[in-house]
A and B are shown apart, each in its own frame.
Chain A
Amino acid sequence: MKKFKYLIPKTLDEAVSLNQSHEGSAIYVAGGTDVMVKIKSGKLAPDYLISLKHIGVGSQLGVNRETGALHIGGLVTHRTLETSSLIRLQYPIIHDAVQRIGSTQIRNVATIGGNLVNAVPSADGAIPLIALDARVNIYGSAGERTVDLVHFFEGPGQTVMDRGEIVTEIVVPKQPSRTGGAYQKFGRRAAMELPLIGVGVLITLEEGSNRCAKARITLGVAAPTPIRTLSAERYLVGKEITENTLNEAGKLAAEESRVRDSVRGLAWYRREMVEVLVQRMGVKCLQRIKETEAL
């Protein structure tokens, strides 16, 4: 294993300028659970690691009172999300995903910002956030910019981030009332597993009816990046949400997915599971809307 120096900046700007002064030979690190594995295996060989754990921003988790938006700092760990009652009660679709990423030991350390910038096609953390129309705040030497999470990923391991940029925050806009969401990671084992397919569904119902006002159907491992299946979403809007319409949406989502054969599973099987899981997650959305209204 190559030796490296570990730098501990105290501010965001210090982190960015350290990266500039070690251009090409430094990488940022937060929890380190992925970076450390890549260094051990030789996939990464930086001279410098720049820790983001002490820069004083990125650890916040809460709802902005004025806008109603949920703010998740880039350094928030999966475990913090998993154990947050705010997430469990008001954003169960996020809870569905984060509680099954890695192990407790990994979730205690690994950050949501790190999960996003790794940009693995299975990105469990990203699928529910895309369904929630999340945006990502990115900071670098040119200042801050905001990107819709659905446009953040460009390919396996590739994002729109420029060299030296840092994910500071994920912002989830306030959701309309009568919105329910659910995510299912589907793998061969119950634990310590990457998904064969990941399916997130978010549905908003019109007031006083079962008609769909808004739909999001997002898939992981169905393409080189997390995707939304727009034809399935469009199909649902304006329709009564029933088992039949959800079945149809599942079929459309399966057609739109670009699943492929891999060691974990075959494309035809993944396609069938998309169909099944879109329907099941849709039913769960309805249940969750009902439960919220019963409170």
Chain B
Amino acid sequence: MSREIKFVLNGAQTCVAIEDDWNLLYLLREKLGLTGAKEGCGRGECGACTVIVDGLAVNSCLYFAVEIDGKEVLTIEGLAGADGTLHALQKSFVSNGGIQCGFCTPGMILSAKALLDENPQPTEADIKQALAGNLCRCTGYVQIIESVEAVVDKSSGDINAVVRETGDSD
């Protein structure tokens, strides 16, 4: 059965005809030409297909395309500015050696973005927890964690720490 769905893809209203049995990864790669999200394992273990749906990192290979109707999807293609300026996370992965072969990178960066949007001052443990579902076969994990840590806003973190302490003493 073919049906039409409407959703916001990387900031742009999108209307597309899909089949019921398509998953989001298939829709993105094969029908919309967005090949940033990759198929690694196809079963929710490697995270190479990670995209952000309504603010949450999900495995697009296990997400029914039909369920995207009315939602907002962000893929790695939508992360840089319109003029091509890289997002801070992308710059950080480049400058900190967070990229080796690059296959896991879009998923890593989107998982990291979902984390930072929710928690701008994650600890190293928070970062590891958030990236646990993203495997890097080059095993460049140390640089990947460092790449994320490098964009954590340290200055506002101090301010938050003070606020938290004040709150605790109440």
- Does A104 lie at the interface of the complex (its beta carbon under 8 Å from any beta carbon of B)? yes
Say whether chain B's binding surface is mostly helix, strand, loop, or mixed.
mixed
Chain B residue nearest to A39 in the complex (CB)? B21
- Does B7 lie at the interface of the complex (its beta carbon under 8 Å from any beta carbon of A)? no
Task: Give 1 or 0 for each of B1-27: 1 = CB within 8 Å of chain A CB.
Answer: 100000000000000000111010000
| Contact pick for A5, options B20, B128, B134, CB 8 Å | B20
- Does B57 lie at the interface of the complex (its beta carbon under 8 Å from any beta carbon of A)? yes
Shortest CB distance B51–A (Å): 9
Number of contact residues on A: which range applies? 20 to 34
CA distance A51 to B67 in the complex (A): 9
Chain A residue nearest to B131 in the complex (CB)? A104
Task: Say yes or no: A105-B42 contact (C-beta < 8 A), given A3-B21, A32-B62, A53-B67.
Answer: no
| Contact pick for B1, options A5, A32, A106, A109, CB 8 Å | A5
| Contact pick for A79, options B19, B21, B56, B128, CB 8 Å | B56
A4 touches B21 (CB 8 A): yes
Chain B residue nearest to A6 in the complex (CB)? B20
A-B contact count (CB 8 A): 85
Chain B residue nearest to A106 in the complex (CB)? B44
- B residues sitting closer than 8 Å to A (CB atoms) are 1, 19-21, 23, 42-45, 47, 50, 56-59, 61-64, 66-67, 111, 114-115, 128-130, 132-134
CA distance A103 to B128 in the complex (A): 11
A6 touches B21 (CB 8 A): yes
CA distance A49 to B47 in the complex (A): 25
Task: Give 1 or 0 for each of A66-86: 1 = CB within 8 Å of chain B CB.
Answer: 000000000000010000000
- Does A9 lie at the interface of the complex (its beta carbon under 8 Å from any beta carbon of B)? no
A192 touches B132 (CB 8 A): yes
